């Protein structure tokens, strides 16, 4: 520490980058600073989080590089992180290569999709994270301009000597055969110039030129040629209608948005580039956190990385919150309304969707991770002390107090544990009193659990609102148990409506159609199904027992045969003797008729 204090005291108050090295001389962390002395000293002077303490314990030496501006520091930090991949720096996870469109550097250039960026003088547009958009623009170009798709070396010498012959593409009018000199290089390159403008998002200029050309041809009575130009004009118009056009006045703007996932210690950053009001570049990437980097630090890194990678010199950057970075000749904007706000919302929509897609992929590979995340959401929403690995839910079922029953379902790790389900006949409550019935069942269940030492739930849910919750709380307090209690209330259409928690109960906000909402709905539907099925079975048995079980000489098999044939006890009563004899024989038919006549 004494050695580090001497190094820190000697550091300048200038912008720059600092490097931490371990005992083997390997760089384990690279950081940037507006003020090197103040930033580096903060690692040794104030209380740090656990991960930062581990980093500090590994430092054996400190090096630094002074630069002129903070922007230079940002760029240098970004380059050094990519070069050395220090253990404690954020990790840029960018293993998915999105496709780009290449205009090849060659005579009579080809235009095609590629995932490889080769520095050979070719021009690349993209990457396209939304692949259908890329195919849409390629399809537009194919219909607008006859371009070659072959890999021939179309040098002037090869064409002049007649080395090549036309192919099928020429015969179906998709290529103008520059290989045999039917299309001049000047005409071909004019098409390439227009194609590059389309790929940059500059379609308005081309549309205006086509419109003017169409009007000129029409005025000269050259209607067939004018019709061909009109078709090209309409193709561009249709493409613009489908593309993401925001506002024609917005030009050369970068947009960034960030979304964090605290469970996986990752951050997702979306980058959009706007040209002439249209999104012509979109990319989302992921940073894996190594320390407790703030979203401001991560977004700053992302801005430098993307602008350097795609050679962006946009004078304006739209961001969702203030950043402590300054870039030369660049204005940072945090919009609150208007077209720029719409751009930011579009970027946020993209990054949220990317995060959701990554989580879905992760869940497929590791379903247990998804369950843990859902349980964490419940834990955070209800501020529980522990993860609700065991959830128990209760429901009553009766018709005006008759055949009153209750049921308890158990979910372990977010999955139904049917071996732990329990049914209860209500014994002490007379009449339709749901609160008293719930209290009886909860008391019976947890009294026995305490006596037998069986597990108690991490969360108890009642299928009902505030009244049910209060009734259950009385019993839990009476038994001296510490079990969190929540309630699931339904709306007028008997659908899961809200989650209640606390005393007095408060409504916990739930977004519908989310995995968490579906889990809670599943729990509520399952306990209702289990309770009502038990109630129907009991009611059905009582109705049958009151009529047929009292007849001596009529057993279960005969009773089942009768009900299968006549469908109800009422029809058995009204059946003629001949029909009964046909089903159960003469002796039993006589017994049944005499019983009902006597009754």
C-alpha distances in Å from residue 448, one per residue of 143, 168, 265, 321, 453: 77, 84, 43, 55, 8
Q: What is the DSSP string of 80-130?
A: HHHHH--TTS-EEE------EEEE-SSSS--EEEES----SS-EEE--BSS
Which range of 270-274, 462-466, 482-486, 549-553 scores highest in mean pLDDT? It is 482-486
> What SS3 class is residue 539?
helix
**Peptide linkage before 504 cis (omega within 30 of 0):** yes
Mean pLDDT of 268-286: 80
Question: pLDDT band for position 150 (50/70/90)?
Answer: very high
User: CA-CA distance, 154 to 188, in Å (whole number)?
Assistant: 12
Q: Which of 201, 227, 242 is the last residue of a domain?
A: 201
536 and 550 in a single domain? The answer is no
Residue 330 burial by CB count (10 A; 0-12/13-18/19+): exposed, middle or buried?
Answer: middle
What pLDDT is attached to residue 256? Answer: 95
Average pLDDT on 473-484 reads: 91
Residue 476 inside a domain? The answer is: yes
Task: Judge if 193 and 115 occupy the same domain.
Answer: yes
Say whether pLDDT at 192 is over 90.
Answer: yes
User: Residues 298, 417: one domain?
Assistant: no
Please say which residue of 363, 386, 421 terminates a domain.
363
Q: Are residues 264 and 349 in the same domain?
A: yes
Tokens of residue 375, six digits: 């349980």
What does the pLDDT read at residue 312? 86
409 vs 407: CA distance, rounded Å: 7
Of 33-42, 85-94, 234-243, where does mean pLDDT reach its minimum? 234-243
Q: What is the pLDDT of residue 257?
A: 94
- DSSP secondary structure, 313-349, as one string: --SEEE-SS--S---TT-EEE---SHHHHHHHHHHHH
SS3 of 566, please? helix
pLDDT mean across residues, the chain: 84
> In a 3-state reduction of DSSP, which class is residue 269?
strand
Q: How far apart are CA 179 and CA 440, in angstroms?
A: 91
Task: Name the E strands within 122-212.
Answer: 123-125
492 and 409 in a common domain? yes
Region 84-112: mean pLDDT is 82
Q: Which of 102-106, 110-114, 280-284, 307-311 has the lowest mean pLDDT?
A: 280-284
Q: What are φ and ψ of residue 241, in 5° steps?
A: -65, -35
225 domain residue, yes or no: no
Q: Does 470 share its domain with 507?
A: yes
Question: How many Å apart are CA 59 and CA 89, to the nearest integer?
Answer: 14
Q: 432 and 447 share a domain? A: yes
Local confidence band at 144 (pLDDT 50, 70, 90 cut-offs): confident
Q: Determine which of 120-134, 235-249, 437-451 has the lowest per-residue pLDDT on average.
A: 235-249
Give pLDDT tens digits for 297-344: 899 989 988 888 778 889 999 999 999 888 888 999 999 988 899 889
Answer whether residue 166 is part of any domain.
Answer: yes
pLDDT higher than 90, residue 577: no
What is the pLDDT, as a whole number, of residue 365? 55
- Band (pLDDT 50/70/90 cuts) for residue 446 is very high
CATH number for the domain harbouring residue 274: 3.30.420
Confidence of residue 153 (pLDDT cuts 50, 70, 90): very high
Q: Strand, helix or coil at 459?
A: strand
22 to 19, 27, 63: CA distances (angstroms): 10, 7, 11
| 267, 296 Cβ separation under 8 angstroms | no
Does position 95 have pLDDT exceeding 50, yes or no? no
Task: Identify whether the C-beta of residue 399 lies closer than 8 Å to the C-beta of residue 431.
Answer: no
Percent of the chain surpassing pLDDT 90: 24
Within a domain: 212:
no
Query: CATH no. for residue 53?
Result: 3.40.1440.10
Query: Inter-axis angle of helices 50-58 and 36-45, to 10 degrees?
Result: 110
Do 179 and 292 belong together in one domain? no
Round to whole Å and give the CA distance between 184 and 554.
103
Taking the C-alpha atoms of residue 198 and residue 312, their distance in angstroms, rounded to an integer, is 18
387 and 533 co-located in one domain: yes
Q: What is the pLDDT of residues 419-435, one digit of tens each?
A: 999 999 888 887 778 88
In 392-457, which ranges are continuous DSSP H helix?
A: 434-452
pLDDT tens digit string along 509-536?
A: 777 777 788 888 889 889 989 988 888 8
DSSP state for residue 2 in the 8-state scheme: H
Count CB-CB contacts under 10 A for residue 165. Answer: 9
Query: Which of 445, 368, 461, 449 lies closest to 411, judged by CA?
Result: 461
Model confidence at 236: pLDDT above 50: yes
379 phi, psi to nearest 5 deg: -60, -45
How many residues in the chain? 599
Please give the span between the terminal C-alpha atoms of the chain, in angstroms, as a whole number.
101
242 is a domain residue? no
* Residue 230 burial (CB count, 10 A): 17
Residue 173, sorted as left (phi over 0), alpha (psi -120 to 50) or beta, turns out to be left
- Note whether 288 and 385 are same-domain residues: no
Angle at the Cα of 286 from the Cα atoms of 283 and 289, rounded to 5 degrees? 155
Per DSSP, 29 falls in state E
The model's pLDDT over 15-53, given as tens digits with 9 standing for 90+, comes to 888 999 998 989 999 988 888 888 888 888 766 667 778
Arithmetic mean of pLDDT, 141-155: 89
CA distances from 452 to 269, 477, 522 (A): 53, 19, 29
In sequence order, the 6+-apart residues with CB closer than 8 A to the CB of 38 are 13
Q: Which domain holds residue 165?
A: 100-201
How many independent structural domains does the chain possess? 5
> Could you tell me if 376 and 263 are in contact, meaning their C-beta atoms sit under 8 angstroms apart?
yes
Choose the weakest-confidence range: 18-32, 152-166, 169-183, 535-549: 535-549
| Single residue among 501, 517, 541 that ends a domain in this structure | 541
Q: How far apart are CA 535 and CA 406, in angstroms?
A: 8
Strand locations in 218-295 (E): 253-261, 266-275, 278-288
In a domain, residue 64? The reply is yes
Contacts of 61 (CB under 8 A, 6+ apart): 20, 21, 25
Q: Is residue 570 part of a domain?
A: yes
Instruction: Indicate whether 464 pLDDT > 90.
Output: no
Rounded Cα–Cα distance for residues 113 and 125 (Å): 10
With beta carbons less than 8 A apart as the criterion, state whether 408 and 379 touch: no
Instruction: Calculate helix-pair angle for 131-144, 223-242, nearest 10 degrees.
Output: 170
Cα separation of 334 and 256, whole Å?
Answer: 11
Regarding predicted confidence, which is higher, 45 or 109? 109
CATH code, domain carrying 574: 1.10.150
Pair (435, 463) in one structural domain: yes
Tell me, yes or no, whether 356 lies in a domain: yes
Are 533 and 388 in a shared domain?
yes
Report the distance separating Cα 62 and Cα 27, nearest Å.
9
CATH number at residue 472: 3.30.420.340
Average pLDDT (277-284) is 73
> Which residues neighbour 378 within 8 Å (Cβ) at sequence distance 6 or greater?
384, 388, 459, 516
Confidence of residue 475 (pLDDT cuts 50, 70, 90): very high
């Amino acid at each position: 520490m004494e050695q580090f204090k001497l190094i820190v005291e000697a550091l300048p108050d200038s912008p720059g980058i600092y490097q931490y090295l371990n005992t083997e001389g390997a760089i384990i962390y690279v950081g940037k600073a507006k003020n090197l002395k103040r930033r580096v000293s903060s690692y040794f002077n104030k209380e740090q989080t656990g991960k930062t303490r581990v980093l500090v314990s590994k430092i054996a030496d400190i090096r630094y590089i002074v630069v002129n501006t903070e922007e230079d520091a940002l760029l240098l930090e970004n380059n050094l992180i990519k070069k050395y991949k220090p253990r404690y720096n954020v990790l840029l996870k960018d293993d998915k290569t999105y496709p780009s469109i290449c205009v090849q550097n060659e005579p009579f250039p080809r235009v095609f999709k590629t995932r490889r960026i080769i520095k050979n003088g070719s021009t690349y547009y993209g990457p396209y994270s939304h692949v259908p958009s890329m195919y849409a623009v390629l399809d537009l170009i194919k219909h607008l301009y006859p371009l070659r798709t072959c890999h021939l070396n179309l040098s002037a010498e090869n064409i002049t000597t007649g080395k090549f012959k036309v192919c099928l593409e020429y015969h179906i009018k998709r290529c103008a055969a520059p290989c045999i000199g039917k299309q001049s290089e000047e005409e071909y390159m004019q098409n390439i110039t227009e194609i590059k403008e389309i790929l940059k998002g500059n379609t308005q200029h081309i549309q205006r030129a086509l419109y003017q050309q169409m009007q000129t041809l029409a005025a000269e009575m050259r209607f067939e040629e004018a019709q061909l130009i009109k078709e090209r004009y309409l193709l561009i118009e249709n493409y613009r209608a489908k593309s993401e056009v925001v506002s024609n006045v917005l030009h050369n703007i970068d947009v960034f948005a960030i979304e964090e996932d605290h469970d996986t210690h990752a951050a997702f950053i979306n980058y959009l580039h706007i040209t002439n009001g249209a999104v012509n570049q979109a990319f989302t990437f992921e940073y894996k956190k190594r320390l407790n980097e703030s979203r401001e630090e991560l977004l700053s890194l992302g801005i430098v990385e993307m602008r350097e990678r795609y050679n962006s010199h946009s004078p304006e950057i739209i961001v969702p919150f203030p950043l402590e970075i300054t870039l030369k000749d660049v204005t940072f904007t945090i919009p609150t309304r208007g077209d720029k706000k719409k751009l930011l919302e579009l970027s946020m929509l993209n990054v949220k969707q990317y995060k959701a897609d990554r989580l879905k992929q992760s869940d497929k590979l590791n379903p247990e991770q998804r369950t843990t995340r859902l349980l964490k959401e419940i834990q955070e929403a209800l501020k529980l002390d522990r993860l609700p690995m065991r959830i128990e839910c209760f429901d009553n079922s009766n018709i005006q107090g008759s055949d009153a029953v209750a049921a308890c379902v158990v979910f372990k790790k977010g999955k139904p544990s049917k071996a732990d389900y329990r049914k209860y006949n209500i014994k002490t409550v007379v009449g339709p009193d749901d609160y008293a019935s719930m209290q009886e069942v909860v008391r019976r269940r947890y009294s026995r659990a305490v006596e037998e030492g069986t597990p108690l739930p991490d969360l108890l849910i009642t299928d009902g609102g505030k009244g049910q919750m209060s009734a259950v709380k009385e019993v839990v307090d009476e038994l001296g148990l510490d079990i969190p209690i929540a309630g699931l209330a339904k709306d007028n259409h008997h659908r899961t409506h809200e989650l209640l928690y606390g005393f007095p109960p408060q409504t916990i906000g739930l977004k519908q159609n989310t995995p968490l909402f579906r889990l809670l709905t599943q729990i509520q539907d399952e306990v209702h199904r289990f309770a009502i099925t038990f109630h129907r079975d009991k009611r059905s048995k009582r109705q049958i027992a009151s009529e047929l079980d009292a007849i001596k000489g009529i057993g279960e098999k005969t009773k089942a045969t009768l009900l299968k044939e006549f469908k109800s006890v009422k029809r058995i009563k009204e059946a003629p003797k001949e029909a009964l004899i046909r089903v159960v024989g003469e002796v039993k038919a006589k017994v049944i008729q005499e019983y009902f006549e006597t009754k």
